[in-house]
């Protein structure tokens, strides 16, 4: 879908999470982008903020990432929020139920070609994921066009989805995206009546931003203005973390005031 570019998207209002269900992208939204996929870590502050938001939103918090769900789980440690991984085609519900497609055999052939490309192009990293093969060229930006051309050829030859990303192109299982994941998670009984709010930075997040708006909520673009389905914008990861931390505290203040009134 074509979305208008809007250079004057406002920051999200402080009360946007009242009655909301919160969906969060990971890389570029909750953690700064790094040179390599394995060079990111979840800080104690981020873990604490999510724990508080989970309490405030009565469990209505989920991560929707392009990474495998198991990796997100490992990065956060024991978590009780739902995770969608692999750009929406993997769902791990908060109660542990898993919905996941099978890995097609074609991904092994794709992996072999991608590995050969990496061997011939120093700096290129290949990420072998349960439901995808990502060709990362962040450390070899000069081969961007070749990497994208290879990914396009492999996607057509093996009938898999081509997922563009930040300094990477991924061949992945299709049939879903971050929008379908958000919609599936919104079907959970605890989400009834909530407004979805999705925060994300990448093109893979656009279906999630659009689905949040379509279901009566809103998307928050993270990073520079571009064509987007988002209604609000934050400049970067630091602003996201500050906004989420403020929202968590605001919720605790409101809950304490309600408790005082009831006493
Ligand atoms: O949907 P996300 O949670 O944002 O995941 C998207 C991809 O993130 C990772 O790659 C990106 O982050 C890396 C670490 O900062 C960076 O080196 C790379 O250039 C980025 O594209 C992850 O490795 C991918 O599997 C995700 O699909």
Measured by CA distance, the residue closest to atom 6 of ligand 1 is 66
CA distance 153 to 146: 10
User: Can you tell me the mean pLDDT for 88-100?
Assistant: 93
- On the question of pLDDT at 254 being above 90, the answer is no
Determine if ligand 1 sits within 6 Å of the CB of residue 40.
Answer: yes
pTM of this prediction? 0.94
As a whole-number percent, the residues of the chain with pLDDT over 90 amount to: 89
Query: Of the residues 28, 30, 33, 37, which should be mutated to test ligand 1's pocket, given the most ligand atoms within 8 Å of the CB?
Result: 37
Residue 202 CA to ligand 1 centre (angstroms): 9
Q: 7 pLDDT band (50/70/90 cuts)?
A: low
Q: 180 pLDDT band (50/70/90 cuts)?
A: very high
Burial of 154 (0-12, 13-18, 19+ CB in 10 A): buried
Q: What are phi and psi of 149, to 5 degrees?
A: -65, -40
Q: Tell me the pLDDT tens digit for each residue of 150-173.
A: 999 999 999 999 999 999 999 999
Atom of ligand 1 nearest to the CA of 136: 19
CA distance 160 to 171: 6
Residue 210 corresponds to which tokens in the numbers above?
């659009």
User: Can you tell me the mean pLDDT for 199-225?
Assistant: 97
Q: 125 pLDDT band (50/70/90 cuts)?
A: very high
More confident residue, 95 or 53: 53
- On the question of pLDDT at 29 being above 70, the answer is yes
Domains of the chain with bracketed CATH: 20-101+175-262 (3.40.50.1000), 106-172 (3.30.70.1020)
Q: Is 260 a catalytic residue?
A: no
Sole residue written with tokens 């495998």: 68
pLDDT value, residue 239: 98
Determine if ligand 1 sits within 6 Å of the CB of residue 132.
Answer: no
CB atoms within 10 A of CB 166: 15
Residue 245 corresponds to which tokens in the numbers above?
């931390």
User: Can you tell me the mean pLDDT for 185-191?
Assistant: 95
User: Can you tell me the mean pLDDT for 109-113?
Assistant: 98
pLDDT value, residue 80: 86
Mean pLDDT of the chain: 94
Q: 8 pLDDT band (50/70/90 cuts)?
A: confident
Query: Of the residues 27, 135, 140, which should be mutated to test ligand 1's pocket, given the most ligand atoms within 8 Å of the CB?
Result: 27
pLDDT value, residue 255: 58
Residue 41 CA to ligand 1 centre (angstroms): 13
């Amino acid at each position: 879908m074509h979305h208008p570019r809007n250079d004057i998207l406002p920051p999200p209002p402080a009360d946007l999470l009242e009655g909301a269900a919160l969906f969060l992208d990971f890389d570029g939204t909750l953690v700064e982008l790094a040179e390599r996929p394995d060079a990111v870590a979840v800080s104690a502050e981020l873990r604490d903020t999510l724990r508080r938001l989970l309490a405030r939103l009565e469990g209505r918090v989920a991560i929707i990432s392009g990474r495998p769900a198991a990796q997100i789980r490992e990065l956060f440690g024991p978590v009780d929020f739902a995770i969608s991984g692999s750009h929406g085609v993997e769902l791990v519900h908060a109660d542990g139920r898993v919905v996941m497609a099978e890995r097609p055999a074609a991904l092994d052939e794709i992996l072999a070609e991608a590995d050969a490309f990496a061997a011939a192009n120093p700096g290129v990293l290949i990420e072998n994921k349960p439901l995808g093969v990502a060709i990362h060229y962040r450390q070899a930006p000069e081969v961007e066009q070749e990497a994208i051309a290879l990914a396009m050829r492999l996607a057509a030859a093996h009938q898999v989805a081509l997922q563009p990303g930040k300094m990477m192109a991924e061949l992945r299982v299709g049939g879903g995206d971050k929008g379908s994941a958000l919609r599936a998670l919104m079907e959970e009984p605890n989400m009834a009546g909530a407004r979805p709010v999705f925060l994300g930075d990448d093109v893979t997040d656009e279906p999630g931003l659009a689905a949040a708006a379509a279901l009566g909520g809103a998307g928050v673009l993270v990073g520079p203005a571009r064509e987007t389905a988002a209604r609000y914008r934050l400049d970067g990861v630091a602003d996201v973390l500050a906004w989420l931390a403020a929202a968590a505290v605001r919720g605790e203040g409101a809950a304490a005031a309600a408790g005082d009134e009831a006493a």
